[in-house]
Amino acid sequence: MYFVLAALRAGPLHGHAISKSVKELSGGRVQPSVGTLYGILERLNERGVIAVDREETVNGRNRRYFRITDEGQALVEAEARRMHEAAQLVLHPST
């Protein structure tokens, strides 16, 4: 979920673009299947941290674009700060 929110900080994206961005942002470590990705998007949408920005039809297929909400932005920033603090405990332990 973290990488999905991080990907959407760049602006509205559709599912395939989100998947590519997640893979890129994670250095290839995170590659959710289509079903997993859409499950994540559904849960994030239900929680109000992302929203449908718009829908388009491309080559006869519906394409839904998602955007991060203000609540989602605050959530991903708080998580980034928490992970940074946790990493500091390992990288710079108190002596």
Q: What is the pLDDT of residue 85?
A: 95
CA distance 65 to 16: 10
Banded model confidence at residue 93, pLDDT cuts 50, 70, 90: confident
Q: What is the pLDDT of residue 95?
A: 58
Q: How many domains does the chain have?
A: 1
Kindly report the CATH number assigned to the domain that includes residue 44. Answer: 1.10.10.10
* Tens-place pLDDT, residues 27-81: 999 999 999 999 999 999 999 999 999 999 989 999 999 999 999 999 999 999 9
Q: Are 12 and 66 in contact (CB under 8 A)?
A: yes
By residue range, what is the domain housing residue 82? 2-91
